[in-house]
Amino acid sequence: MRICIRGGWVVDPKRAQGYQADVLLEGDRITAIAPDLDAPGAADVDARGCYVTPGLVDIHVHLRDPGFPDKETIASGSRAAAAGGVTSVVCMPNTRPAIDHPDVVRYVKETAAAASVVRVYPAGAMTKGQQGTEMTDFRALAEAGVVTFTEDGKSVMDPLVLMQAFTAAAELGMPITSHCEDHHLVRTGAMHRGWVSERLGDPGIPALAEDLIVARDILFAQHTGARLHIQHVTTESAVQLIREAKARGVKVTAEATPHHFSLTHEVLLEHGALAKVNPPLRTQRDVDAVVAGLMDGTIDAIATDHAPHTWEEKQQGLAAAPFGFVGLETLVGVTFTHLVHTGKLSVPEVIAKLTVNPARIMGLPEPRLEAGAVADVTVIDPNLEWVVDPTSFETRAKHSPMAGMRLRGKPVYTFVGGRMVYAHGRGILS
C-alpha cells in the first residue's frame, strides 16, 4: 500500500520551522518527504492547508480493560484515540484486575494486538491491587512490558512503600508516574474547594491536597534519583514547585490536560457531575498558571486523562458520581483553540508536547517525520471549526462537559504503521 499525503505543512519536532512537502508512506514506513513527489500508483491524500505531524502520543489514557466493558474497552478506546489523532497511548492500571501482575500486562498487550487500531503501552500499578500497602514486582512487570509505574486515580500514601517504589524505579531506570492528591485532604470532596463548591454544598478539595503530594514526590525523586513524572498538574503552587525542582536539577517532568488548561470550576455550575474530575477543575488563576507552565517548559507534555464512565454512573449526583470524563476526541480541538489560536504556543511547540516529549518521558520509540521512520502520522486541519457532539464520539462514554463547545482545529487523517485508521467524515477505517 502506497499513500502520498500531498501539500501539507510538515511539522518535524526536530526542526524549529515547518515546511511544505508531500509525505510518501509505503508499507509501514515513511519512504520520502519532498515537494511535488512523483509517486505513481500511490493513493493521494489532500493535506493542503493542514499540518502533517508525527502520530500524537497520549501518555494518560484509561481504557478500562480488563474489567469495565460498559465504560470502555481496548477496542473502543483505541478507536477514540484514532479519531483524536492519537497513534500511541499509555493505558493506566486501575482496571479490574489492576495491571499489577505480568499476566494482566500480557492480557492488555495481546488484546491490543488483536483489537486495537493504535499502539497501546501499559502502565503497571505501584502496589498490589492498588491498595497502597504492598509493592508490585517492578522487575517482573517491566519484563512483561510496562513502561512506567503509577497508582493513577490516587496517590500511595505510605512513605515506606514509596521509598521502595522510587528506589526500584531508579534501579530500573524507569519513571514513577504520579497522580498527586493527599487522601486525607480529598475526603469526600467532589470538586475544587472555592466559591462554587460552597454554593453547591460540596466540601471541596483544597489545592493543598495536590501541592503536598507534588512537593513530597519531588523530594522522593531528589532523594532516590528516580525519574518522576507528575500527571495532570492543576494548581498554581504545583506548577511553581515543579519549576523550582527542575531548576535544582531534579529529574521531574509534568503533563497538563486540555480540560485543566481550558476550563474552571465554574463549569460545574452548568454541567454538575459530568464535569467531576480529579484533580478537579480549578480557578482561572490556576488555569493561567498551567498555561504559563506550558509556555515556559515547566510542563513538558499534554495528555488527556481520558477517563470514560457510563451515563448512568454520571447521573448519580455530584457526591456519588465517579471522577473523570473523556478527552481523546477533543484533544486537538481544545489544544489548538486555547493554546495555538490564542498565540500562547507555536504549532511546533504544541506538537512537541503531543509527540516527542511524552514519548521521551515514557521511553517510547521516538516519533519522527523523515524517510525511514515508522509511518505513524496525523494530519490536522487547524482551521476546521466544529461543535463538540459527544453522541458522535467513538468512545463508549458519549457525554462530556465540553458538549456544545465550538472548537477550531481537528485531526482529519490518522495513520498507524502506514495504514489509514481514521478519516474525517468517514470515521474509523479498519
Binding site for Zn ion (CB under 5 A): 152, 179
| DSSP 3-state of 267 | helix
Residue 305 falls in the annotated catalytic set:
yes
Cis peptide before 401 (omega within 30 of 0): no
Residues contacting residue 201 through CB under 8 Å, at least 6 positions apart = none
Supply the minimum distance, in Å, between the C-beta of residue 323 and Zn ion: 8
**CB-nearest residue to Zn ion:** 179
Supply the minimum distance, in Å, between the C-beta of residue 259 and Zn ion: 12
Give the CA radius of gyration of the chain.
20
Give, in order, the Cα–Cα distances in Å from 94 to each of 15, 73, 232, 279, 352: 37, 13, 16, 16, 28
Supply the minimum distance, in Å, between the C-beta of residue 365 and Zn ion: 25
The helix or strand, by DSSP H or E, that contains position 171, with its residue range, turns out to be helix 159-172
CA–CA gap between residue 245 and residue 215 (Å, rounded): 9
Nearer to Zn ion, 98 or 423 (CB): 98
Among the listed residues 341, 248, 338, 251, the one whose alpha carbon sits nearest the alpha carbon of residue 302: 338
Nearer to Zn ion, 156 or 379 (CB): 156
Q: Where are the alpha helices (DSSP H) in 298-408?
A: 311-314, 331-335, 347-354, 356-362
Nearer to Zn ion, 281 or 421 (CB): 281
Nearer to Zn ion, 179 or 260 (CB): 179
Supply the minimum distance, in Å, between the C-beta of residue 129 and Zn ion: 17
Residue with cell 525542582: 245
Supply the minimum distance, in Å, between the C-beta of residue 93 and Zn ion: 11
Nearer to Zn ion, 232 or 271 (CB): 232
Q: Would you tell me the crossing angle of helices 207-224 and 236-248 to the nearest 10 degrees?
A: 10
CA–CA gap between residue 261 and residue 247 (Å, rounded): 23
Give, in order, the Cα–Cα distances in Å from 158 to each of 127, 134, 174, 182, 189: 11, 10, 21, 11, 21
Of 22, 65, 100, 305, the catalytic one is 305
Nearer to Zn ion, 60 or 368 (CB): 60
Supply the minimum distance, in Å, between the C-beta of residue 61 and Zn ion: 11
CA–CA gap between residue 114 and residue 111 (Å, rounded): 5
CA–CA gap between residue 221 and residue 151 (Å, rounded): 16
CA–CA gap between residue 88 and residue 355 (Å, rounded): 9
Nearer to Zn ion, 51 or 68 (CB): 68
Q: Would you tell me the crossing angle of helices 207-224 and 159-172 to the nearest 10 degrees?
A: 50
Residue 255 bridge partners (DSSP)? 301
Catalytic residues: 305
